[in-house]
Amino acid sequence: MSITQQSLNVSFIGNKPTSGDGNLFHAFAPARHENLADEFANVSPEQANQAIEKAAAAFPAYAKLTPAQRADFLEAIATEIEDLGDELIERAVLESGLPTGRISGERGRTTGQLRLFANVLREGSWVDARINPALPDRTPLPRVDLRRMLIPLGPVVVFGASNFPLAFSVAGGDTASALAAGCPVVVKAHPSHPGTSSLVGQAIVAAALETGMPDGVFSLLHADIDVAQQLVAHPAVKAVGFTGSRAGGLALLRVAQERTEPIPVYAEMSAVNPFVVLPGAISQDTGPNSAVTVAAGLAASITLGVGQFCTNPGLVFLLDSPKTSVFLETLTEKIRSSAPATMLNAGICRNYQKGVQQNRIIPGVHVLAEADVDAEDSQTQGRPIVLSTSAAIFLSSSALSEEVFGPTSLIVVCETEAELVECLTTLEGQLTATIYATPTELTQSETDWVSLLQAKAGRVLFGGYPTGVEVSEAITHGGPFPATSDSRSTSVGTGAILRFVRPFTYQSFPNELLPLALQNANPLGIWRNVDGKLTQSSVGS
């Protein structure tokens, strides 16, 4: 596929490349700390409405496609993205400041999750078909025929994320899961990587044309904040996917709840992902249960991707022990030898510096370690830093439990188990929580550590490091508020499809009018719940 400079600077309203009628802005290269020559135009309110109206018009036809047809579409998107080749990688590196290897891996994750959802569609059991055949002779009352399955909600608005220009952006997990569910998608591109977004948008449109999708099944819009909120308020929109700041997510939630018909906003917003270390986990001099090993791995997790992962371990709780000093010394050494690196954009870099400064001036908070090399403002760099404090100071200042997005963490040393429990109890909802301990410590402790952390997070790790999310069937990437706006959902993995569907029951329908998933013969061959038993057999056989 050949992408022209003209097509790079456009939005897509359905299949049509469109120049925006709104205000102009430039792409930004953070590693150079300068605007690029490309000039992008945001869409006008009228153009945004056109995109939603096209999505609404496409919905009935798209929702009725067979699972195999939607799977073909997702697989075609993956292929078209791969066919963009080096141009996509180079543009994403330029606009994000992320290294080539990271972007290449992220492209693989993006295409991989598209194909994963295609596999989900082809297998088909995700629709949760439930059938209660009619029992006309039942006494004292007969039973009518009832058949239930999950059906798509309708048009979905997706907001691209800043920290994953591919995997959480235009063709990312929100888009892939919504399209798999049968919902047209309107993506609001993130202004940090508009060129990357336009390239991927063109790939999706090409795939839609290739596979005969209805016009309007996908749109890509460059839009300002006012138009973005307008998209959420449009009465044809039925759900929203968002990854970003707490302030941004809450603003969209307010708009969605103030509508005549409130709609779900699946917002991933903020997390500090507590990392708890009990004495037994660092009691050895060498090996996996040594202070040196655990601290070195923690330092790598804190600085990975310049700390710009939503699962970055921003809070570390140590129960004081003879090996605490070794742990802190190792962490200090590793952080000091780490290097500043380019952050995603100038705003994120400024907010990182501001957040670190606000915490380090709190009385009783100390700088444990800072990278020996200064950050270069000319390269939009963030400098790794780890702060430390006591449990008493942590409990006295709520600001210390707030997310600082970047390569930093706060170490809280607790003198007693009761202090540690109190610190953990005060935390808000998180995406992850990690506990380093021996099995004996967990089974013999008066504290139920797993239940305590389970109440706070969507995923609890026994050992290991939270940075890194496997895209799979069993993953949960969500958690209690404010990690996400709905703790019953995940934004990663095959379970993400369930955000964009609702249960629906057909009562007393003729067999030939039922969806294939509910027909007697089970032509899709899927697993179904028939009178309380899972089976692939036909009804009445």
pLDDT in tens, 378-435: 999 999 999 999 999 999 999 999 999 999 999 999 999 999 999 999 999 999 999 9
Summarised one tens digit per residue, pLDDT across range 137-162 is 999 999 999 999 999 999 999 999 99
186 beta partners: 157, 219
**Average pLDDT over every residue of 32-39:** 93
Mean pLDDT of 32-45: 95
Q: Could you confirm whether 423 is annotated as catalytic? A: no
Kindly report, residue by residue over 353-370, the tens digit of the pLDDT: 999 999 999 999 999 999
Model confidence pLDDT, tens digit, residues 63-119: 999 999 999 999 999 999 999 999 999 999 999 999 999 999 999 999 999 999 999
Burial 300-322 (b: 16+ CB within 10 A, else e): ebbbbbbbbbbbbbbbbbbbbbe
Residue 345: pLDDT band by 50, 70, 90 thresholds? very high
DSSP code at position 401? G
Cα dist from 537 to 128, 267, 522, whole Å: 15, 39, 7
Sign of the Cα pseudo-torsion (312, 317, 323, 327, in order):
positive
Q: With bands split at pLDDT 50, 70 and 90, how would you rate the model's confidence at 8?
A: confident
- pLDDT above 70 coverage of the chain, percent: 99
Among 255, 257, 70, which Cα is nearest to 178's? 70
Indicate which residue of 75, 95, 106, 310 is catalytic.
Answer: 310
Whether pLDDT at 18 is above 50? yes
* Structure confidence by residue, pLDDT tens digits, 458-504: 999 999 999 989 999 999 999 999 999 999 999 999 999 999 999 99
**What mean pLDDT value characterizes the chain?**
96
Indicate the pairing of strand 381-382 with strand 341-342: antiparallel
Enter the DSSP assignment of 405.
Answer: -
Q: What is the pLDDT of residue 38?
A: 87
**Cβ neighbours, 10 Å, residue 538:** 14
Left, alpha or beta for 164 (phi > 0: left; psi -120 to 50: alpha)? Answer: beta
Residue 374 has pLDDT above 80, yes or no: yes
Catalytic residue from among 80, 268, 370, 441: 268
* Per-residue pLDDT band at 205 (split at 50, 70, 90): very high
Query: How sure is the predictor about 3, in pLDDT bands with cuts at 50, 70 and 90?
Result: very low
183 in active site: no
pTM assigned to the model: 0.96
Which pLDDT score, from 0 to 100, does residue 2 have? 41
Domains and CATH numbers, the chain: 10-125+151-269+491-499 (3.40.605.10), 275-462 (3.40.309.10)
The residues with which 132 forms a beta bridge, in sequence order, are 146
Across the range 181-203, mean pLDDT stands at: 97
Runs of H (alpha helix) within 361-432: 391-396, 417-425
pLDDT in tens, 208-260: 999 999 999 999 999 999 999 999 999 999 999 999 999 999 999 999 999 99
**Residue 4 predicted with pLDDT over 50:** no
Q: Could you tell me which residue, 6 or 21, shows the higher pLDDT?
A: 21
The widest CA-to-CA distance across the chain, in whole angstroms, is 82
Q: What percentage of the chain exceeds 90 in pLDDT?
A: 97
7 confidence band (pLDDT: 50, 70, 90)? low
What pLDDT shows up at residue 541?
63
Confidence at 6, pLDDT banded by 50, 70, 90: very low
